[in-house]
A and B are shown apart, each in its own frame.
Chain A
Amino acid sequence: MIRSVNPLAQEPRYELIGRVLRENILSGVLPRGFVLLEGPIAAVMQTSRVPVQTALRQLLDEGLINRFDGRGYLVGKGGGDVIPIRRDIRELELEIPHAVDQALQTRGTWRHVYDKVEEEVASCQIFGEFRIVETELADHLGVSRTVVRDVLARLQERGLVRKSPSSHWIAGPLTARTVSEKFELRGIMEPAALRLAAQHIRYAEVEALLDRIGTDPGITPQYLGDALLELCIAQAPNAALVEMIRSNRLLLSSVDRALILLGLPRDEDTIEQYQTLLDLITHHPIDSACEYLRYHLSITARRYLARMKIVAVIDETGSFAPYLSPQ
């Protein structure tokens, strides 16, 4: 998950743009009569035109700019005496506060919007199949289509969206079969990787972790699950296999997060299961740990499938974002 720290990064993009224009009008950098055009402003701010339109409408309401008999808006009050100044805004030395600039820069990348979109796309899938139109998503987020494509490419990597034969972006439906297949793959790859990793597991760290179970409240099942992956399975000397294991898990973890946000009870492995597993890894022949891991995954799969049934009680009314069109 990627979260930004700049407080302005949470502010709507049009607010940021409006703020910059307002300050430059008040300080005189943008002189009375200057013609404001959406395109060049969007270029300066590195955004799409949609938030620029909104910002300009806001400034119009505030009386800071006016319409005239031409394309765009005039800075200042209208009237016959004003001669439109047609210059490229990029030639002016606009003052853009550092924090605003940074926020806009962050906005310009897929990172800023990704988490929210992933959450919405993952959760919609339990309701069926949806189409995502790039332009609608861009408008909804107030970002350019380039950013939207970056976001969709990452969702595609996670298996959350795919392209239909007619090149439409499609999400869902998430079925029990998809989940079963993912777990079947986990059952094949993860014990195999663990076996390969036997000589490379970071045993000292696993031992230290085992010692902390029961005394350290920071040790949650989730924490142990991550440790199992990082300290043991991912130590397999086969980067391609480890990469496949990681990407195979992405859909499952996105969906799990989405289900919890929809109100499903949290499902967690028990600390005891991981304790047994880590203990087998450190103190016994690796075969026994591989068998236990396979068993542990089959139980997890059964629980996950049970969760897939209970989502049926969640009402779909108002449960998905406007850029998702039910198919």
Chain B
Amino acid sequence: MKDDAKSGLATPLIVSRRKLRVLGTSITLLDPVRDRARADLGFDIAFEKMDFLTCQRQAAMAPESYDIYEQCFHNLDIVWFWGALQPIDIGRVPEWDNISDLVKLGGVSKYAGRGRGDAPAKKLYVQPGGFLGPKQSRHISMLPTVHNMDSFGYDARVFGAGPDVRPSWGWLLDRRAKGRIALVDEPAIGFFDAALAAEATGEIEFADIGNMTIEEINALMALLEERRTEGYFCATWRDGVEAADLAERGAVAIQSMWSPVYGKLRKARPHFVESAPSEGYRAWHGGASLSRHLRGAELDMAYEYLNWWLSGYAGAVMARQGYYISNPQRAREWLAPEEWAYWYEGAAASRDLAGPDGEVAVKTGERRAGGPYIDRARRIVIWNTVMDEYNYAARAWDRFVRRVNAGVAA
């Protein structure tokens, strides 16, 4: 890279303040993580937390404003190609060999389904010409850390409870929930919740749901617009606090959901439940990347932080909010056996389990929907994705979201 001279001048200043700036989302930027990392690493760490889209824009356009970028793999199609990041040398990541095949190969085992769209493996390795791809190389775009298989949450009083209930993504367009449906406002995420729903109801069939054509995008948006004018949707949300609020207020009978939100529910807890959709999961994989400006001592600090992320503690914190880590065995060292059994093995909770903030997130006897990690990971049908026509889809999605939130009738 070109600005060696510039960083040569800046280095002494940065060494004296010894502060690492992390830009990311509420997924990973948790206080217990930061506090522990500060104590373990001996330098200051500042977290800047934003919603997905704002975060992505800042990461792409202002790489000087952060050192580490914690986001998702699908988002690399934007930020990597803006030239905002620099490759990570896996030779400097001792835990690399323990990182799971879900990210390296695209599935938890050779025979597990791969899922459509941006499987992290497709964005992992830096290829000749600066592209990202699955062919192994010494350099990666993002260090894989936290991930999950997402679904929707629903009101069991509306859709029924018990072993005979077969939750379907199609419920997100179901008449029973009319006027009480919410979607997550992120065009690489909520867009696919809607697409899975449209396919589940049989209204649209996509040739490749992970890379739609303009006609398919138009068809999906037309369907959503039709349902919107009929009054199906009550809201969209961008973070877990908003999602929890919608469920607590009873505003929604069904909505896109993120795992940590279930642990935060109080009033809605008895009836608002996590689904294991019969069609399979929409998955995502997060990680941490290096800003392009890092050099010398700053870069060393950044690598220390990346390696700390895989040393177990952070993985344990993530587990307590329902997220998996790319090297689970290290996280296991930091989890109580009951916690491991509940979060990773799908066992019933043998006692109340605390979330990352210390509050009870899981009650004794509860069991996670979808079962053990391996079972859930085998049922990934789509990854959060930035499709070829992303710009077109994102702008159409944005217009839809604005109309939902403005409550425009027609």
Contacts and interface: CB of A to CB of B under 8 A. Distances in A.
Interface of A: 126-128, 173, 175-177, 180, 263-265, 299, 302-303, 305-313, 315-316
B394 interface: yes
B384 to A, nearest CB: 14
B213 A313 contact: no
24 contacts: A127-B395, A128-B392, A175-B214, A176-B392, A177-B213, A177-B214, A177-B388, A180-B388, A263-B61, A299-B129, A302-B131, A306-B77, A307-B81, A308-B388, A309-B77, A309-B388, A309-B391, A310-B60, A310-B77, A310-B82, A311-B391, A312-B390, A312-B394, A313-B57
A265 B386 CA distance: 19
Interface of B: 56-57, 60-61, 77-78, 81-83, 129, 131, 187, 213-214, 386, 388-392, 394-396
A43 B408 CA distance: 48
B390 to A, nearest CB: 5
User: Taking chain B's interface residues, is the majority helix, strand, or loop, or is none over half, making it mixed?
Assistant: helix
Nearest to A311: B391
A127 B82 CA distance: 18
Nearest to B399: A128
Contacts of B131: 302, 306
Contact of A128 (B60, B77, B389, B395): B395
Given A265-B82, A306-B77, A175 B392 contact: yes
B81 A310 contact: yes
Nearest to A264: B82
B395 A313 contact: no
Contacts of A308: 388, 391
A312 B390 CA distance: 7
Contacts of A303: 129
Contacts of A127: 395
A256 to B, nearest CB: 15
B23 to A, nearest CB: 14
Given A175-B389, A177-B389, A302-B131, A312 B395 contact: yes
B83 A126 contact: no
Contacts of A177: 213-214, 388-389
Nearest to B77: A309
Contacts of B187: 312
Nearest to A128: B395
Nearest to B57: A313
Contacts of A265: 82-83
A94 B66 CA distance: 65
Contacts of A173: 392
A265 B80 CA distance: 12
Which of A303, A306, A316 lies at the interface centre, i.e. has the most chain B CB atoms within 10 A of its CB?
Answer: A306
A127 B391 CA distance: 8
A313 B60 contact: yes
B35 to A, nearest CB: 32
Given A176-B388, A309-B77, A312-B390, 15 more contacts: A173-B392, A175-B214, A176-B391, A177-B213, A177-B388, A263-B61, A305-B388, A308-B388, A308-B391, A309-B78, A309-B391, A311-B391, A312-B187, A312-B391, A313-B78
Closest 4 CB pairs of A and B: A176-B388, A312-B391, A306-B81, A313-B57
B129 A176 contact: no
Contact of B395 (A302, A310, A316): A316
A173 B394 CA distance: 13
A309 B395 contact: no
Contacts of B82: 264-265, 310, 313
Contacts of B392: 128, 173, 175-176
Contacts of B391: 126, 176, 308-309, 311-312
A316 B131 CA distance: 27
A105 B214 CA distance: 44
A66 B319 CA distance: 81
A312 B388 CA distance: 11
B176 to A, nearest CB: 34
A263 B60 CA distance: 11
A292 B324 CA distance: 45
A309 B213 contact: no
Contacts of A305: 388
B403 to A, nearest CB: 14
Residue from the set A173, A176, A177, A316 with the largest chain B CB neighbour count within 10 Å = A176
A313 B81 contact: no
B271 to A, nearest CB: 38
Contacts of B83: 265
Contact of B81 (A175, A180, A263, A309): A309
